[in-house]
Amino acid sequence: MLLQHIHKEQKYLLAVSGGIDSMVMCDLFLKNKIPFAVAHFNFQLRQQESMDDERFVQMWCEQHHIPFYVKTIDTKSYASENKLSIQVAARTLRYDFFHTLLQQEPYDAIATAHHQDDNIETVLFHFFRGTGLRGLTGIPLESPSLVRPLLHTTKKEILQYASKHHITYREDSSNVKVDYTRNKLRNDMIPQLEAIFPAFKQNIAHNIQYLNEAYTVYERQIAQYKKKLIEQRGPDYYIPIRKLKHITPLKTVLYELIKDFHFGFEQAEQLITMMNSQSGKQIENTQFSILKNREFFIITAKKTSESAMILIDKSMDTVTTSDFTLHCKQLITDDYQVQNDTTIAQLNASMLEFPLLLRKWRPGDYMYPLGMKKKKKIARILIDLKIPMHEKDQTWVLESNKKIVWLVGLKTDDRYKITPQTKAFMIINIKK
């Protein structure tokens, strides 16, 4: 039996539970004279059994003069306190422990005993739960600071090796239960599938290999779509809807564009229905929102003032941000008297295109300040006005169809000024 992607000149930290898989891995490292230490995590989930597992691994290490590291945590309490499932809590605690050791001790990588049958179960789990293409490629053989040297080894081969070499190990009683979804797959579904398709596992393993290669090609193409369709402006990301309409297959590509922002296939379908809807509609999750503003989907982080964006429709008379409140009023009159007050936006309403967009200013923004026929960058305006650095970060602009009409509280754009011919007015007062 061979260890995959292991280099004898490196030192490894082996994640060892005491079960047959990890003990076979230990024996292979030992026989191949590869430098390693053992890390064991006691989850305290099986009372005395957990303590016996820990003692078993420790004694094996003492017998073979292998450095041994152990950590014990009440996993159920941790899961309850952090509102996590037992499985998620256990995985988080275990890998946090391993990576902390890797940073503190002189080891090059962590090695786990995942094998081919684990990989098959993972792919089936992802498939039935629902996943993108990435979920069907299974467990990676390598990831940063982590290697799985038995990933191409079957469970049958591990059992045969353990029998031939008289490997002692601990049997985890939870493995024979069907309390968890993965164990139901392992103990119920997969044996039934093998009874119908004797080469089931071999075929799935071949498909995983093929899908990994196909995914490499897929990723390259998706990278091209991202380069073409996502434009970063400051902290926000713009996706042009006109370009999206020419993409095939649209849902798959759109899903890949928004996946990194924690949106899924369902949200991709929602965005497709929003492509021809009016501005102002949005979808959101706990971290990001996607706003439709004219010909763009704008992805912006939530709960950060830096990326705040607010749409102002014709019917809105009050808009509140973290920095101020705007009072909006539309007038149709022949005798409006223009006030000499920069804290009031006095705009020609007939020139405006709704909804207006209120956002923080960004480097590269420009406008045509009142009385000027040439554009001027907002950054230069702020310098000329001697706005303190800490106040610059709190400066907002108001847009009409991607054109800045008002540097809030400071300057009005000349293109939207009131003239003697103006009959429709948009008056916006700022109150901090």
Output the CA angle 373-375-377, nearest 5 degrees: 150
What are the φ/ψ torsions at residue 50 (nearest 5 degrees)? -60, -40
Q: Where in the chain is the domain with CATH 3.50.40.10?
A: 308-431
Its pTM surpasses 0.75: no
Residue 173: predicted pLDDT: 58
Q: Are 42 and 55 in contact (CB under 8 A)?
A: no
- Joined together, the tokens standing for residue 176 give 């024979």
Options 3.40.50.1170, 2.10.69.10, 3.50.40.10, 3.40.50.10490; CATH for 308-431 is 3.50.40.10
Q: Are 24 and 167 in contact (CB under 8 A)?
A: yes
CB atoms within 10 A of CB 264: 14
Residue 307: predicted pLDDT: 53
Residue 174: predicted pLDDT: 54
Q: Where in the chain is the domain with CATH 3.40.50.620?
A: 12-121+138-183
Structure confidence by residue, pLDDT tens digits, 161-176: 999 999 999 986 555 4
Using a pLDDT cut of 90, give the percent of the chain over it.
78
Asked whether residue 177 carries a pLDDT value surpassing 60, the answer given is no
Q: Are 3 and 158 in contact (CB under 8 A)?
A: no
Q: What span, in angstroms and rounded, lies between the C-alpha atoms of 284 and 274?
A: 13
Which CATH superfamily groups domain 12-121+138-183? Answer: HUPs (3.40.50.620)
Confidence of residue 111 (pLDDT cuts 50, 70, 90): very high
Residue 132: predicted pLDDT: 77
Average pLDDT, the chain: 92
Calculate mean pLDDT across residues 72-86: 92
Structure confidence by residue, pLDDT tens digits, 357-410: 999 999 999 999 999 999 999 999 999 999 887 688 789 999 999 999 999 999
Options 3.30.70, 3.40.630, 3.30.465, 3.40.50; CATH for 230-301 is 3.30.465
Asked whether residue 268 carries a pLDDT value surpassing 70, the answer given is yes
Asked whether residue 212 carries a pLDDT value surpassing 90, the answer given is yes
Q: Where in the chain is the domain with CATH 3.30.465?
A: 230-301
Q: What span, in angstroms and rounded, lies between the C-alpha atoms of 372 and 150?
A: 71
Structure confidence by residue, pLDDT tens digits, 270-307: 999 999 988 888 999 988 999 998 899 999 887 554 45
Residue 306: predicted pLDDT: 46
Residue 178: predicted pLDDT: 42
Give the residue, 158 or 302, on which the prediction is more confident. Answer: 158
Structure confidence by residue, pLDDT tens digits, 131-152: 878 899 999 999 889 999 999 9
Burial class (CB in 10 A: 0-12, 13-18, 19+), 232: exposed
Residue 240: predicted pLDDT: 96
Calculate mean pLDDT across residues 214-238: 93
